[in-house]
Amino acid sequence: MLTLQRQLASLLEIDTPMFSKIERGNRRAKRTQVVQIANYFNVDEKELLTLWVADKVLDAVKNEEELKSDAIKVAQSSI
């Protein structure tokens, strides 16, 4: 299925330039948008949300070279 940016932007109720920023990684999609995309493409919502959360975690620690591995281990032990 070929889907155009403007179609997905319309689905998410955002403009095409905003969707383009999400697509390029310059802006993060909202949780509700991730769910909408999963439903539209009929993919596993939990899997897509897991990737979305993992991306947020990695973004939070990206500049902490010396601490990020330990920080993720501490967070994981708290789960």
Model pTM above 0.75: yes
* Burial classification of residue 4, based on how many CB atoms lie within 10 Å of its CB (0-12 exposed, 13-18 middle, 19 or more buried): exposed
Q: How confident is the model at residue 33 (pLDDT cuts 50, 70, 90)?
A: very high
pLDDT, tens only, 49-73: 999 999 999 999 999 999 999 999 9
d(CA 14, CA 58): 25
